Every structure is written in structure tokens, then in C-alpha cells.
Amino acid sequence: MRHSTGPAYGNFLSGTVKNPENRYVNDLRRFGFSQSQVLKARGSLVPVGLSVLFLGFIAIFAASGFASDGEELLIIATAAVIGGYMALNIGANDVANNMGPAVGGKVLTVAAAVMIAAVFESAGALMAGGDVVKTISKGIIAPGGEVSIIDFRYLMLSALLAAALWVNLATILGAPVSTTHSIVGGVLGAGVAAAGVGLVNWPTMSKIAASWVISPLFGAALSAALLLFIKVKVLNADDRLEAASKWVPMLIGLMAAAFAAYMAMKGLKNIWKPSSVEIALVSGLAFFAAFLLSRPYIAKRVRHLENRKKDIYGLFDLPLIIGVALLSFAHGANDVANAVGPLAAIISTVGGDAEIAREVTIPLWVMVIGAFGIALGLGLFGPKLIAIVGEKITRLNSPRAYCVALSSAVTVLIATTLGLPVSSTHIAVGAVFGVGFLREYVENPNRRKLRPGHKLNATAMDAFNSRNVRGKRRLVRRRFVLSIAAAWIITVPASAALAAAIYAGLQLL
């Protein structure tokens, strides 16, 4: 009897017959992949859709609130929408610098950080936001007779849109940038396009350029010094519980003093303008009050802890949460003007006797747009940058995050006292880098003991000194150092170029 030798029979004999059910399994896998992509796209479309609805509501509200001619209504509605768009981007990018360390230190979840930041950012914007703001963004350009009302409106529109576009792009790329520097670059570029380089206040620009280098380096050095102190005096002490009982209340008092001065000088500056003596008095009272109140609290906590580093970490949780909440309040009070300042400047020129003023009052409805936009942008798009600042650059815990928050506040205080314009973004991210590089230097994770019988080099010290071995493990991800530094350097030129291009385009309309 002759057997069939067809392909199917041959495959069967060779053991390579394919299971017919595999085809259905592959189809199910393809369907599952397609469904996951649809859900992913839907998840990204929902925040965008909510943002579009928010901006559409702003346009309708702004257009219906003014009895003016069609051209002015169009300008007001456009400026309001761009201001709301800028507020969304500030929430998505800038707020992460305050909340990122607390999330990275496992003190707050992303959801809790978003909720706390949204509440305190909005409160800061509405309760202590800029009643009066310089229309030309910190004196970058000096308005004069060479800029007409129409050109001035186009200048502000161009600066605001350029800054918003740049911050949006930086958020997509995962780079925390300064919204203040973005709006400064936008005003600079549009101002040059409108009236030439003579309109620019170059001494102010030189101070801002200097702050690009000074503020992150100072923040990094201060955070590293604080962490080294905590390591030497508390975490590496023989009796960590006794050391914590002695030093942690003093560290809490130091944070209270710094944040009391920070709130007096920055967070509440628009509703209370204290003298230097008053600031020093408030700061001193805050130190002693926090120190005296925290001593029994820490003593009670210590009685239930073991002499381990991880147990000590939890003592920094509460002061850290209070600190980042105050940072968010101060940020909302100060940076809301970056979103709505140019909008308020445009509104101030509407009317029969309009003229360009150096200072304008921000209407309440404009402040509401800025406050709600920042909170909405944080909730919809902020978690991405929060994760990068808090987790991707270097590993954080409560003491490290505490050092970042405290050094950010102190650096801003010192810079404000010296009259140096700085970016809270640069300082906070620089502080994170400072903590990471100190860990690399002190902890030196590459000095691992060789197992008996295993030698990669002639001696153990040769292996430790090997460049290849040292390069295997780094506690700071270098690619973030390079990408963030590059984003900082090109922020002002990029936003300036965008603003100049947008202004030129508006002139053609």
C-alpha cells in the first residue's frame, strides 16, 4: 500500500505540523493589541478634549463680557484663549518641580500630589496673585511712543503664544523648563521684531542669563550640603534615634523659618509688603514655634522606631508635605502672571482712551482663568513631568526630597534679597541633581566586594579604579542632565524666535 507523501503528511512525520488553533490565537493577539492602542489613544484624547472645551468656554466668556467692536472682541477672545492655553502648560510643566521630589520620595502618590498642588496653586493665584503686574514681563522691554496700540497687542499675543508653544513642546519632550524665561524670551523676540534691538533692556537680560548658571548650581550645592549634614549627624550616627531626636526638630524649625520668610517675600508679596525687620522677626518666630512643637512629636515617633535608616526617613514626611504645599501656594501667587499678565495688558488697551501703561491691574476673571487653567493642566498633563523630576533623574527618599524643597526656598530667598531674577524650575531641578551627585560621591555604589575566587583585575583596588567599572552604575541619569540643560539654554532663543515669527505673521493679516 502506497502512503501519501504530500506536504501535510510530510510535515506531520517531521513533527512540524502547525496547530490550526494558532491562527486564531494570533488573531486574538492582534485584536488585543489593536484594542490596547485604541484605549491608549482614547486616554490621550480625553485630556486634549477637556482642554479644548476649557479654551472654548474661555473664548465665549471673554467675547460676551465686552461691549466693543468686532476687531477688539476678536483680539480679547484670542488673547483669553492663549492665556488659558499658557496656564494649562504652566500646570503641566512648572508645577512638577514642587511636587516631583515628594512623589519620588514615596511621601505622596501622584494623585495626592496633583490634588494638593491644584488646591494650593489655585489658592495662591486667587488669594495672593498679582494685583498689579508689569506688562512688559519684568522690564525686559521698555514701552514707548515707537509702539502703537495695535502693535503692542500683537506683541503681547505673539509673546504669550510663543511661550505657550515652547512650554508645550518641552512638556511633550519631558523637559522641565522655566515658564518665566519662556515668556521673557517671547517678549524679547516680539519686541525686537516690533521696534528693533533698541527696545530691549539688556542689563536685565544679562542678569537673567547669569541666573541660568548661578541658580541651579547654588541650589545643587545647598541641597547637597543639607543632605551631607543629615547623613553625618543623623543617618550614619551610631544611635540614629537619639540623633534624630536632637537634630530633626532643628531641621524642621529651619524649614519653618525659611518658608515663613519665603511666604513673606514671595508668596504674600502682593497683599503684604513687610520690611526686612518684620521678615526676620516672622522667620525667627516660625523657627522657635516649629522647633518647640516638633520636639514632643519627634520624641513620640522615635519611641516606636528601630535604629534603622528607613525608620528615620518617615520623620521627614510631614514637614516635606507642608513645605511642598507652601511652594505650590507661592508658585501660584507668582507665576499666574506669566499666563495672564500679557492678557491683562491687552485688556488694558481696550477703550476709547486706551494707552500703553507700564503697569496694569489684573481683573478677577482673568485671575480665575489663570488659576483654574494651572490646576486643570496639572491634573491632565502634570503626572508625566512629576515622574521625571521625582523619579527619573535620581532616586529620592524623604530626607533627600526635604533637602530639595528647603534648598529651593532658601535659594529663591537669597536671590530675591540680592535682586537676582531666578527660575524656581532651574533651582528645584538643580537641587535634585545636587542630591544625586552627592550620593554618587559619598555612597560610591561601585565599590562592591569581590566574591572569593573571582578577580577581574590584578588587585581589588585596580578594579575599583577602573573607568569601565566606575561607569557601569551611576546614580544620576546623564541623559537627563544633558537634555534638561539643553532645554534651559535654548528656552529664551527658541521662544524669542517663535514670537518674532508669530509677530511677523500677524503683521501680514
Q: How many CA atoms lie within 13 A of 90 on its CB side?
A: 38
Cell representation of residue 354? 486706551
Sole residue written with cell 513673606 = 264
Pair 333, 355: CB distance under 8 Å: no
Q: CA–CA separation, 195 vs 142, rounded Å?
A: 11
H/E stretch holding 258: helix 240-262
DSSP states of 352-391:
TT----SEEEPPHHHHHHHHHHHHHHHHHHHHHHHHIIII
Cell representation of residue 358? 507700564
Q: Report the pLDDT value the prediction gives residue 109, as an integer from 0 to 100.
A: 86
H/E stretch holding 132: strand 132-134
Q: Report the pLDDT value the prediction gives residue 283, as an integer from 0 to 100.
A: 92
Cell representation of residue 394? 535620581
Q: How many CA atoms lie within 13 A of 163 on its CB side?
A: 37
Domain residue ranges in the chain: 42-447+456-507
Pair 215, 423: CB distance under 8 Å: yes
Q: Report the pLDDT value the prediction gives residue 35, as an integer from 0 to 100.
A: 52
Q: CA–CA separation, 98 vs 104, rounded Å?
A: 11
Q: CA–CA separation, 2 vs 332, rounded Å?
A: 88
Q: Of 494, 374, 432, 371, whose CA–CA distance to 92 is shortest?
A: 374
DSSP character at residue 4 = P
Cell representation of residue 111? 494623585
Q: CA–CA separation, 96 vs 377, rounded Å?
A: 11
- C-alpha pair distances (Å), 320 with each of 38, 105, 287, 326: 39, 10, 15, 10
Q: CA–CA separation, 241 vs 389, rounded Å?
A: 31
Cell representation of residue 72? 477688539
Cell representation of residue 70? 468686532
Core vs surface per residue 307-332: b (16+ CB within 10 A) or e? eeeebbbebbbebbbbbbbbbbbbbb
- C-alpha pair distances (Å), 152 with each of 75, 143, 378: 12, 9, 31
Q: Report the pLDDT value the prediction gives residue 472, as an integer from 0 to 100.
A: 46
Q: Report the pLDDT value the prediction gives residue 478, as an integer from 0 to 100.
A: 78
Q: CA–CA separation, 84 vs 354, rounded Å?
A: 24
Q: Report the pLDDT value the prediction gives residue 312, as an integer from 0 to 100.
A: 92
Render each residue's pLDDT in the chain as its tens digit; 509 residues. Answer: 444 455 544 444 444 445 555 665 565 566 565 555 544 545 568 888 899 999 999 988 887 766 556 677 888 888 889 989 998 998 888 877 788 888 888 888 888 888 888 888 888 777 766 544 444 444 555 555 566 778 888 888 999 999 999 999 999 888 888 888 888 888 889 888 887 777 677 777 777 777 778 888 999 999 999 999 999 999 999 999 999 999 999 999 998 998 888 778 776 666 677 888 888 999 999 999 999 999 999 999 998 888 888 889 999 998 889 888 888 887 777 677 767 777 777 777 776 445 555 555 667 788 888 888 888 998 888 888 888 888 888 888 999 999 998 898 888 878 777 766 677 788 888 999 999 999 888 876 454 444 444 445 555 555 555 544 444 457 788 777 888 888 888 998 999 999 999 999 988 87
Pair 93, 167: CB distance under 8 Å: yes
Cell representation of residue 140? 525686559
Q: Report the pLDDT value the prediction gives residue 453, as an integer from 0 to 100.
A: 47
What contacts 372, CB < 8 A, 6 or more positions away? Answer: 54, 87, 122
Cell representation of residue 450? 569581590
Sole residue written with cell 471673554 = 62
Helix axes 398-418, 96-104, angle to 10 degrees: 150
Helix and strand totals (H; E) in the chain? 18, 2
Q: How many CA atoms lie within 13 A of 151 on its CB side?
A: 15
DSSP character at residue 231 = I
What contacts 480, CB < 8 A, 6 or more positions away? Answer: 388, 392, 393
Q: Report the pLDDT value the prediction gives residue 358, as an integer from 0 to 100.
A: 56
Q: Of 266, 200, 223, whose CA–CA distance to 415 is shortest?
A: 266
- C-alpha pair distances (Å), 271 with each of 1, 333, 334, 336, 440: 104, 10, 12, 15, 44
Q: Report the pLDDT value the prediction gives residue 328, as an integer from 0 to 100.
A: 84
Pair 361, 340: CB distance under 8 Å: no
Q: CA–CA separation, 382 vs 113, rounded Å?
A: 10
Map residue 304 onto helix, strand or coil: coil
Q: CA–CA separation, 233 vs 243, rounded Å?
A: 7
Q: CA–CA separation, 158 vs 370, rounded Å?
A: 18
